[in-house]
Amino acid sequence: MTDLWVSLAVLGAAVLLSEATRRAAARLSPGACWIYLLEAASTFQLCCCTHELKLLGETARLELPVSLTLTYTMTVIHLLTFRGATCNPSGALESVCRGASSGRAAAVLIACQFGAAAAAQVFAASVWSLGLSDIHVRHQRFGFRCFDPLGGTVLEAAAAELVCAFIVQAAAMHVHKVEERLRHHCIAAVITGLVYTGGSISGAVFNPVLAFSTQFPCSGHTYLEYCFVYWLGPILGVASCILLFEKVIPFLSGKSTVGLDVPAAQKQKTQ
């Protein structure tokens, strides 16, 4: 139980540190710089908390209801504090494809995310080196090593990441149909369910930058295999979801606006 309370304190410290950074950035760096700092601080929070939750889940052997409750609660906290930050390269690439941002801006954003993910690795190792709990001491004894995160073949893990990313993207695209005060909880419930069902196959990360921070340092597979699983899988999942719901289904239902100019499309909507 002491290990759990220590880990909860670490989670709280990571959230408070990131929140302080976001608030300071909002005051000192208005404009475009604010977006990059927001992504960096939020990605740092996500990766730090996931490092601690992963260690807690792998070594403390918590009961399943406790593990799922922690996952759900932390996901809700992330959604409430991120202030629109995606903390995911797929979101930056999506904005480029939609014409909402330039390729250069997306590249800087993704660089900030990966920089924050690397900083989270350093932060986690620094906290663990303090030996605040038994699981931290044991982890330090093994040199902070993590082992093969894949519970299936590389192809099975990549398929799991693709499906998880597809489902999360679909939920994000349709959550506006739910009452506003319940939206964060709906997304958190979806993510918690995916972690439960897909965790044994790939870890259910479905986020390239989060995987870079938490899964890539692990032994068991090559760097290219991890890229295939944790980068290509989620990106294809997000892309296929957008293609299905915004192109294929509207086309099959006869509501596609492809090839129409904006005024014409808007006129059809008002008729």
Report how far apart the first and last C-alpha atoms of the chain are (Å, whole number): 63
- Do 11 and 18 meet the contact criterion of CB atoms below 8 Å apart? no
pLDDT in the model for residue 116: 97
- Single-letter amino acid code for the residue at 267: K
Smallest CA-to-CA distance from 15 within 53, 51, 41, 33 is with 41
- Do 178 and 251 meet the contact criterion of CB atoms below 8 Å apart? no
Phi, psi values for residue 260, rounded to 5° = -90, 145
| SS3 at position 255 | coil
Taking only Cα atoms into account, the Rg of the chain, rounded to an integer number of angstroms, comes to: 20
Residue indicated by tokens 């606006």: 257
pLDDT in the model for residue 268: 38
The residue ranges of every structural domain in the chain are 1-145, 147-258
Rounded distance between C-alpha atoms, residue 63 and residue 68, angstroms: 9
pLDDT in the model for residue 202: 93
| SS3 at position 260 | coil
Q: What is the pLDDT along the chain (271 residues), one digit of tens a residue?
A: 788 999 999 999 999 999 999 998 888 766 668 889 999 999 999 999 999 999 998 887 788 899 999 999 999 999 999 988 999 999 988 888 888 888 888 999 999 999 999 999 999 999 999 999 999 999 998 888 888 899 989 999 999 999 999 999 999 999 999 999 999 999 999 999 999 999 889 999 999 999 999 999 898 899 999 999 999 999 999 999 999 998 888 888 876 544 334 333 333 333 3
